């Protein structure tokens, strides 16, 4: 039997949209049995509405804004239940949707997850319901303590150094905060994170996306590789593998991507995703799902022009306030010449501040890439390492909003 979720702080409300009277009664009894009103020491869990008529339920449920919505369809109708889940998700983006199914059919599970479902429950229902409530409660508590954050790293001009920045940022966040950290290589066109870190791997992000219907902690740990820094890494496809398939298809299903992000946030405090060169609207849509995006650029006309145009797309998509500029390969010795472009010029041209500048240290970068080293741990006295550590501290304090426990 699953343990009940216990908390002194969280209030969890539940709505039931179940068109089978027997199942509705069973779910109602399970929740009331384990969470009777006024029970001291348990989270306050209240059923705010019960509907067997989906039309009436959908009209009324918006007024209650439940933490959890449990959906049950008495016949095996994956299209109908997925459609209902999607309507609930559109109406209540913040509710956690549980779907009760007759059997664990992978096709049905994938359809409802893509529609916005967080938990798929099968009979006997008692343990799955308690476990689902437990996960929701723990997620609420986790967020109240600072939560977890997904940080996207992207660039509108290839060759700007976004991948090297991503891996050093992830390791620096781990080093400074001592919290579970994941680095995901999400580069479309073939990522190089695994190569730069000199790690051997069997699985890639594609394997994760293709197995969302059975993703759990154990499976995720099998798909990721632990780097010597303590950061877990999910590699991208190799370049030749990308030539065989359209890798951007991995990001076309926004429901699946959102499901993955929600799951990763229950496992890690920091998730750094190297998106690399933004090449399609799908990439913009994925960046919108992240908690923050670092746009990497350099002080040259092409990079500034591309970034300016890219920011228009970001603004149109509605996440400009979550986007931050990082100037890479900055060398103040060359920023004072008559023809040089300064950080102030960037600020004036793009109309937004620069979060951080990363010093230009070409030889350290080349040495690290060729030898599978990480600047912040293996070249800690370099100006490059100092720049990455400064960026990680800014991300921790100003973007994520957590305190840095130690800067070694």
Tens of pLDDT, residues 290-320 = 999 999 999 999 999 999 999 999 999 999 9
Estimate the crossing angle of helix 301-317 against helix 281-288, to 10 degrees. Answer: 60
What would the DSSP string read from start to end of 174-234? HHHH---EEEEE--TT---HHHHHT---S--HHHHHHTGGG--HHHHHHHSEE-TTS-EEE
Higher per-residue pLDDT: 44 or 38: 44
- 81 confidence band (pLDDT: 50, 70, 90): confident
Arithmetic mean of pLDDT over the chain: 86
pTM score, whole prediction: 0.70
Confidence at residue 250, expressed as pLDDT on a 0 to 100 scale? 65
Q: Would you list the domain boundaries of the chain?
A: 11-144, 149-400
pLDDT of residue 10: 62
- Residues 114-141: tens digit of each pLDDT: 888 888 999 899 999 998 888 888 777 6
Per-residue pLDDT at 69 exceeds 90:
yes
Q: Is the pLDDT of residue 336 over 90?
A: no
CATH 3.40.50.300 fits 149-400, yes or no: yes
Mean pLDDT of 325-346: 82
- pLDDT band per the 50, 70, 90 thresholds, residue 255: confident
Answer yes or no: are the C-beta atoms of 234 and 262 closer than 8 Å: no
Short-list 363, 293, 354, CA closest to 325: 354
Q: What is the mean pLDDT of residues 365-373?
A: 97
Range from 282-291, 305-314, 377-386 carrying the lowest mean pLDDT? 282-291
Residue predicted with more confidence, 250 or 241: 250
- Please state which architecture CATH assigns to domain 11-144: 3-Layer(aba) Sandwich (3.40)
Nearest-Å Rg of the Cα atoms of the chain is 23
Matching fold, domains 11-144 and 149-400: yes
pLDDT value at residue 42: 46
One DSSP character per residue, 48-107 reads EEEES-HHHHHHHHTTT--SEEEEE-SS--HHHHHHHHHHHHHH-TTSEEEEE-SS--HH
Mean pLDDT confidence for 54-82: 85
pLDDT on residue 246: 46
Mean pLDDT (whole number) for 219-235 = 95
* Confidence band of 37 (pLDDT split at 50, 70, 90): low
């Amino acid at each position: 039997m699953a343990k009940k979720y216990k908390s002194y702080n969280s209030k969890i409300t539940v709505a039931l949209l179940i068109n089978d009277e027997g199942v509705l009664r069973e779910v109602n009894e399970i929740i009331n049995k384990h969470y009777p009103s006024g029970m001291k020491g348990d989270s306050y869990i209240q059923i705010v509405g019960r509907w067997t008529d989906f039309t009436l339920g959908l009209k009324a449920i918006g007024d209650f804004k439940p933490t959890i919505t449990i959906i049950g369809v008495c016949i095996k109708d994956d299209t109908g239940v997925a459609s209902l889940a999607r309507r609930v998700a559109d109406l209540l983006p913040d509710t956690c949707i549980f779907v009760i199914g007759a059997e664990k059919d992978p096709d049905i599970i994938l359809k409802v997850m893509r529609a916005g479902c967080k938990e798929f429950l099968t009979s006997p229902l008692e343990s799955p319901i308690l476990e689902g409530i437990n996960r929701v409660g723990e997620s609420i508590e986790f967020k109240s303590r600072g939560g977890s954050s997904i940080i996207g790293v992207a660039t509108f001009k290839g060759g700007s150094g976004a991948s090297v920045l991503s891996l050093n940022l992830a390791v620096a966040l781990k080093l400074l905060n001592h919290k579970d950290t994941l680095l995901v290589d999400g580069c479309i066109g073939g990522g190089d994170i695994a190569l730069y870190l000199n790690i051997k791997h069997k699985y890639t992000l594609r394997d994760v996306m293709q197995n969302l219907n059975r993703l759990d902690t154990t499976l995720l740990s099998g798909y990721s590789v632990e780097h010597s820094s303590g950061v877990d890494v999910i590699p991208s496809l190799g370049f030749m593998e990308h030539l065989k398939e359209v890798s951007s298809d991995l990001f076309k299903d926004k429901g699946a991507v959102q499901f993955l992000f929600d799951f990763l946030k229950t496992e890690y405090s920091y998730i750094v995703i190297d998106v690399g060169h933004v090449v399609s609207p799908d990439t913009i849509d994925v960046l919108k799902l992240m908690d923050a995006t670092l746009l990497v650029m350099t002080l040259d006309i092409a990079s500034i022009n591309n970034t300016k145009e890219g920011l228009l797309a970001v603004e149109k998509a509605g996440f400009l306030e979550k986007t931050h500029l990082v100037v890479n390969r900055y060398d103040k010795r060359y920023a004072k010449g008559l023809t040089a472009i300064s950080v102030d010029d960037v600020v004036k041209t793009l109309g937004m501040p620069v979060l951080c500048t990363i010093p230009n240290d070409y030889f350290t970068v080349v040495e690290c890439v060729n030898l599978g080293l990480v600047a912040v741990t293996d070249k800690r006295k370099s100006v490059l390492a100092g720049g990455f550590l400064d960026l990680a501290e800014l991300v921790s304090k100003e973007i994520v909003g957590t305190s840095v426990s130690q800067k070694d």
